[in-house]
A and B are shown apart, each in its own frame.
Chain A
């Protein structure tokens, strides 16, 4: 048994994981350096066992659950706000498209603008409808997204 062997075992001995056999015992009895290392390892082990255990306060669980409820409420509120904004934008787009469509008709009907006169009837209709149609598609898409978000948020809340 060498000092290196013995010193490598002192933590296991101090923790009670290793029985001290005769050869180890005789080494520790005759080697002051290894004996000091073992004593030191035992002090460390005792010190670690004596560390105070801090207990959570009595209302710890209530506080955690309260924080979770608050966080969930804030998350729902964020989703609601996003949904409301999406609805407002969709409504504004639809209203804007209708307004644009009626305005174009009024201008064409009343003034017989140069653009209207030159364009063929079908061309005029197509030209007038094309941007409006795209706006309707965008608005419908936005509305669908808002509804999907609503469905998703509702599903999350109910989980």
Chain B
């Protein structure tokens, strides 16, 4: 696709988004349902990756859209809707974390007595074990880095899209992601 095609598509998407927002502001429930349909996979995916308590994901994802609805009259449209939604997801998830989880070593026993061993010398991980250890390590990252990791690896969101969505420079996105992954590597290898 050429740069001109991409620019045309982006302009059309922005126009569609503005029209949808106008319909939502006019009290059109079906327009808001369309907005939810457009962004529910993103929001649900992000929330499920940001919040450790799985039983709260549904409620928090709904809370994100309620905040979007309440904020619509004040959304000036200077940023993309997705940028605003990312911020709301971050705030909603942050509000659920009244305190940071304790800095537990990943190779200690967890609350139900399972023991997590450090990476084997030959570097092989059991799939489930890696996932479990990885989730614990991710939970120790700062919120901004957790959101970036969640968004980037959710349906392969590209750096450019992420930079645009979060309204931060492309280089900053990459730097934060590398730092986050370095921290994960250190936590998993410790």
Contact = CB atoms under 8 A, between A and B. Distances in A.
Contacts, number: 103
Contacts of B178: 11-12, 15
B36 A39 contact: no
Contacts of A14: 181
B174 A68 contact: no
Given A56-B44, A61-B36, A65-B32, A40 B66 contact: no
Given A54-B44, A68-B66, A48 B61 contact: no
Contact of A40 (B29, B37, B57, B185): B185
B189 interface: yes
Interface in B1-50: 25-27, 29, 32-33, 36-37, 40-41, 43-45, 48-49
Interface string A63-104: 111011101000000000000000000000000000000000
Contacts of A71: 66
A51 B185 contact: no
Interface string B106-137: 00000000000001000101010011001000
Interface of A is mostly: helix
A45 B123 CA distance: 14
B66 A54 contact: no
A37 interface: yes
Contacts of A49: 153
A17 interface: yes
A64 B65 contact: yes
Interface string A3-47: 000000011101101000000000000000000110111011101
A142 B62 CA distance: 39
A148 to B, nearest CB: 19
Contacts of B41: 55-56
B61 A60 contact: yes
B182 interface: yes
Q: How large is the interface on A (under 10, 10 to 19, 20 to 34, 35 or more residues)?
A: 35 or more
Contacts of A63: 62
A69 B184 CA distance: 43
B61 A51 contact: no
Given A54-B48, A56-B41, A47 B134 contact: yes
A39 B182 CA distance: 12
A34 B53 CA distance: 36
Given A40-B189, A41-B181, A159-B26, 19 more contacts: A11-B177, A14-B181, A39-B123, A43-B123, A47-B134, A50-B131, A51-B153, A54-B44, A54-B45, A54-B49, A57-B58, A60-B40, A60-B62, A61-B33, A62-B33, A64-B36, A64-B62, A65-B29, A68-B66
18 contacts: A11-B178, A11-B181, A11-B185, A14-B181, A37-B185, A40-B123, A44-B184, A48-B134, A48-B153, A56-B61, A60-B62, A62-B33, A64-B62, A64-B66, A67-B62, A67-B66, A68-B65, A159-B26
Interface of A: 10-12, 14-15, 17, 36-37, 39-41, 43-45, 47-51, 53-57, 60-65, 67-69, 71, 158-159
